[in-house]
Amino acid sequence: MYDGGKIIVGLIIGLGLFLSPFFYNAGKAAKAPAPELTPKAKEAKVCVEPASYMRESHFTLLDEWRHTVVRDGERYYKGSEGKRYYKSLQRTCLECHSNYSKFCLECHNYLDVDPYCWDCHIQPEEKK
Amino acid sequence: MNFFLSIIFSFFAVVVVVLIPWIGVGALDLRVLFGIVIPYAAMATFFVGIVVRVIDWGRSPVPFRIPTTAGQEWSFPWIKRNRIDNPKGLGGVIMRMLFEVLTFRSLFRNTRLEYRRVNGVPKIDYEWEKWLWLAAILFHYSFLVIFLRHFRFFMEPVPAFVTLLQKLDGFMQMGAAPFNGFGLPGVYLTDMLLMAAVTWLLLRRILYSQMRYISLPADFFPLFLILSLGFTGMLMRYLLRVDVTKVKELAIGLFKFSPAVPEGIGVIFYIHLFILCVLIAYFPFSKLMHLAGVFLSPTRNLSNNSRFVRHVNPWNYPVPTHTYEEYEDEFRDLMIEAGLPVEKEPDATAGSEEKE
């Protein structure tokens, strides 16, 4: 090889960068998040929409609520099950899901998501 | 292949690439194949392919310095030289390579030939064309940021630089758009820039006749592939949501060599993943290898020192030489016998060497 040393060093650096996730995760316990439901949430059994939809798209729903409430003044949401809900983060969502650190943060930290809920809303105190 | 066929061909190739996982996972539920086997195979192809390709390049000799420069060479002290564009040593070469790799400097010098008619007289213009450079740099940096942002799925715990990138990228909080459905607060700038830039890179191949003439399926296919990769990614982020927690579990499992496919990830994710797999598996065989190739550009990474360093062509044929000195050494005695003049007297040679 011509200039083999330089080329191989460059190749190792380049591939090392691409392979970094392999090195970074090696030997670490990758624990999947396990959000906890409060007793009240367990009792209710259903959320506003089915659990799979909520897991995937809860923010879409929240965003829609925000827009329709703030801009159009529509305060009621009809779930796909036919039940009517009052559109409010604090009074509807957090009513059941009052365990912010065990419910929300569990996945949000895992995926490095940082929604700015508490810029406007008051973060509820968690009851131990 | 003509231009129209090239586009059709590459477009349908990408449609097939999208349909394979759609049917494979959506209808046949081959999640292990599309979630584990194909990603590993694609990664192996990517890494082995790059190594083989780069080593192959490294084995090709570059016999001479290629002084394709845009600056004055180092010569006399009273002639001002250009240290970066015509470097004499390693420092200048490093600077030139940094500018080339990080700012696409030679692309910035791009000009475009244009024919015009001024008052019925044909005229040639060399237009100072910056759109290609602009689209290229937007595209590459957006792609880099998007790639690094994806490390939130690749690494656990998520490193701080990823958090920072996400914050910067989403700082406009464009989710507060006046309509629903595109509603995440973090609508990323790079997503938009990437799509816009790739669209332009595609359009220029269609709109400019010269570009149309030289464009091949190998040019259109990566563009369509990247467009569909970006499109499915954005679709997944903004509209057809998938369970990202499970996506990360899958990704981490792959990187920890303990792969498992969780239930309940939407098909759109497998389409996105499969497009990526095709892209990286295709990578070492395609023009995309300029990722590694830019570092091996002989006109950029060699200092222009041909005037004061001798470079011997490495493939020079070994010519057997027989110099006059060797000839005389061989036949000296016979020459003296025949009365021919010799340069070194047999007695004097040993003596003179010692004196010196």
Can you list the positions of beta strands (E) in chain A? 76-78, 84-86
Query: How does pLDDT run across B6-20, given as a tens digit for each residue?
Result: 899 999 999 999 999
Q: Which residues of chain B does A18 touch, with a Cβ-Cβ cutoff of 8 Å?
A: 46-47
What is the spatial distance between Cα B80 and Cα B72, in angstroms, rounded to a whole number? 7
Predicted pLDDT at A31 = 77
Predicted pLDDT at B349 = 52
Q: Does A100 touch chain B (CB under 8 A)?
A: no
Q: Could A25 and B241 be called an inter-chain contact, meaning their C-beta atoms sit closer than 8 Å?
A: no
Q: Where are the domains of chain B?
A: 3-301, 324-355
Kindly list the distances between the CA atom of residue B155 and the CA atoms of A13, B39, B143, in Å, as whole numbers in the listed order.
Answer: 19, 17, 18
CATH number of B3-301: 1.20.950.20
User: pLDDT category, B350, cuts 50, 70, 90?
Assistant: low
Q: Which residues of chain A does B51 touch, with a Cβ-Cβ cutoff of 8 Å?
A: 11, 15
Query: How does pLDDT run across B66-84, given as a tens digit for each residue?
Result: 877 788 989 899 999 998 8
Q: Which residues of chain B does A112 touch, with a Cβ-Cβ cutoff of 8 Å?
A: 152, 158, 162-163, 166
Structure token digits, residue B322: 């027989």
- Over residues B138-160, the mean pLDDT reads 92
Query: How does pLDDT run across A91-104, given as a tens digit for each residue?
Result: 888 888 888 888 88
Q: Report ipTM for this prediction.
A: 0.89
Structure token digits, residue B305: 């020192």
What is the spatial distance between Cα A109 and Cα A100, in angstroms, rounded to a whole number? 12
The pLDDT of residue B2 is above 90:
no
The pLDDT of residue A28 is above 80:
no
Q: Which residues of chain A does B290 touch, with a Cβ-Cβ cutoff of 8 Å?
A: none
Q: Which residues pair with B337 in a beta bridge?
A: none
Quick one: B7 exposed, middle or buried, by C-beta within 10 A (0-12, 13-18, 19+)?
buried
Interface test with A, best of B167, B245, B268, B279 (most A CBs within 10 A): B245
Q: Could B245 and A22 be called an inter-chain contact, meaning their C-beta atoms sit closer than 8 Å?
A: no
Predicted pLDDT at B180 = 58
Quick one: B194 exposed, middle or buried, by C-beta within 10 A (0-12, 13-18, 19+)?
buried
- Over residues A34-52, the mean pLDDT reads 83
Predicted pLDDT at B231 = 93
User: pLDDT category, A116, cuts 50, 70, 90?
Assistant: confident
Quick one: B127 exposed, middle or buried, by C-beta within 10 A (0-12, 13-18, 19+)?
exposed
What is the spatial distance between Cα B169 and Cα B20, in angstroms, rounded to a whole number? 32
Q: How many CB pairs under 8 A join A and B?
A: 107
Q: Could A25 and B155 be called an inter-chain contact, meaning their C-beta atoms sit closer than 8 Å?
A: yes
Predicted pLDDT at B356 = 43
CA angle B82, B88, B94 (to 5 degrees): 85
The pLDDT of residue A127 is above 80:
no
Structure token digits, residue B301: 């990474």
Query: How does pLDDT run across B176-191, given as a tens digit for each residue?
Result: 555 655 656 678 889 8
**Average model confidence (pLDDT) for chain A?**
84
Collapsed DSSP state (helix, strand, coil) of residue B128: strand
Q: Does A114 touch chain B (CB under 8 A)?
A: yes
Q: Does A116 touch chain B (CB under 8 A)?
A: yes
The pLDDT of residue B330 is above 50:
yes
Give the residue ranges of DSSP H helices in chain B: 3-26, 31-32, 38-59, 90-103, 105-108, 131-149, 151-154, 160-169, 189-207, 209-214, 217-234, 244-255, 267-282, 290-293, 298-301, 324-337, 346-355
Structure token digits, residue A114: 């940082």
Intra-chain end-to-end CA distance of chain A, in Å: 67
The pLDDT of residue B136 is above 60:
yes
Q: Which residues of chain A does B244 touch, with a Cβ-Cβ cutoff of 8 Å?
A: 56, 111
Predicted pLDDT at B354 = 47
Query: How does pLDDT run across B246-271, given as a tens digit for each residue?
Result: 899 899 989 988 888 888 888 999 99
Query: How does pLDDT run across B202-260, given as a tens digit for each residue?
Result: 999 999 888 888 999 999 999 999 999 999 998 888 888 888 888 998 999 899 888 88
Q: Where are the domains of chain A?
A: 1-30, 31-119
Query: How does pLDDT run across B104-115, given as a tens digit for each residue?
Result: 998 998 888 888
